[in-house]
Amino acid sequence: MSEQDLALGEPVKADGDLFAKVADPRLDDWRRAEQEGLLPFYRELDGEVGPSVTLDGRRMVMLGSNNYLGLTTDERVRRAATDAVGKFGTGVTGSRLLNGTLSLHRELEAELADWVGAEAALVFTTGYTANLGLLSALVGPGDAAVLDSAAHASLVDGARFAEGALRAFRHNRPNSLRRTLRSWREQPDSGGLLVAIDGIYSMEGDWAPIPEVAALCREYGARLLVDEAHSLGVVGPGGAGTAAATGVKPDLFMGTFSKSLASCGGFIAGPAAVIDFLKITCRPLLFTAAGVPAALAAALAAVRIARREDWRRESVAARARQLRRGLDELGYDVGPPVESAIVAVHVEEVWEAGLLWKSLLEHGVYTNCAIPPAVPRSVLRTSVMATHTEEDIDRALDAFAAVKAGR
């Protein structure tokens, strides 16, 4: 292979060549969608992301953000971030283990642990690395991670990196989980079990049956991890998530700052002994730089606001009901009612999903398009913010109506 081949980026199909795999048929579909203006990915937004957003110079309703509580533009959160830069600088240039731990980490970890009712918490640079680190450190040889089949990719990847086994059960099916746990326990010398579920699933907005899952964990001696990424701040008393809403105290909690908490990062909360174990064994914690001061301070401010401003949760619930009801009345398939910020519009065919996404964009509404294999069937994923007004949602519904009518 010549330097010219590399420069041109042409896929070389010779046997044994590392780059041969880039001749992937999926890229043909990608390029076709891009040429036809149907590619809904890697769109460049201009300015802040609030209830509305600017794309290609046009202002439109934003129904594609995880900014559920609308805190990314809150002046208190902005001020906390800028004040942190003034005090601590722009970065820590080191890992948590060495020189990357600040007083902000300690404050934030104490606040998060108190919020979810855990002994201790540990902050990571991203939510992805929080799950990756937890599972890869905790699930050792002879152990098993048992995941819901719709679990987030970070949970799946963490289980794959772990030295133990990976098992899956059918989405939100306690009977399937029971069979999986029983099968594991019937093996001679079966080790520890970690059952990992999302509190609210990111694509459909549906809840896990947490009480039933927790009961099965007790029956089979498994530990339970609830990923509260899409529920923290949105549901439960004080926004403490789905576990708190259902009266269940799981062994471990996971949460992110990149949804309701207006920042970037993640955390694991649970028994102090487990948190201390992660501090000395968790490679995605030990070998990456700590989060920047602005992100930590923004998350801390957002947590404190989220805990005390119940109106934000009430607004999210009201706007989601308004959107779901309106879409249902227009004839869109939005599935059964759920209490979350997410409203999924089901679409039968991949290209149909792309066309719907593009048509809505042309009518001034930004949504997210998810297609297989990321999801079992194509969906247009919409989500609301506490700071959306009734008029914002009405405007979005007018766009959905216009698209439905072919206008």
- Cα distance between residue 366 and residue 58, in whole Å: 11
Q: Which fold has domain 73-308?
A: Aspartate Aminotransferase; domain 2 (3.40.640)
294-310 per-position pLDDT tens digit: 999 999 999 999 999 99
Determine the length of the chain. 407
- Determine contact, residues 105/275, Cβ cutoff 8 Å: no
- State mean pLDDT over 254-277: 98
Each domain of the chain, given as residue ranges in start order, spans: 24-71+310-405, 73-308
Euclidean distance between the first and the last CA atom of the chain, given in angstroms as a whole number: 52
Choice among 40-44, 106-110, 350-354 with the minimum mean pLDDT: 40-44
- State mean pLDDT over 106-120: 98
24-71+310-405 — its CATH code? 3.90.1150.10
Residue 9: the pLDDT is 46
191-225 per-position pLDDT tens digit: 999 999 999 999 999 999 999 999 999 999 999 99
* pTM of the model as a whole: 0.92
The torsion angle over the Cα atoms of residues 156, 160, 166 and 170, rounded to 10 degrees, is: 20
Query: 124: which strand partners?
Result: 266
9-57 per-position pLDDT tens digit: 454 455 689 998 888 888 888 888 888 887 888 888 888 999 999 998 9
- Cα distance between residue 270 and residue 216, in whole Å: 19
| Cα–Cα nearest to 123, from 318, 254, 34 | 254
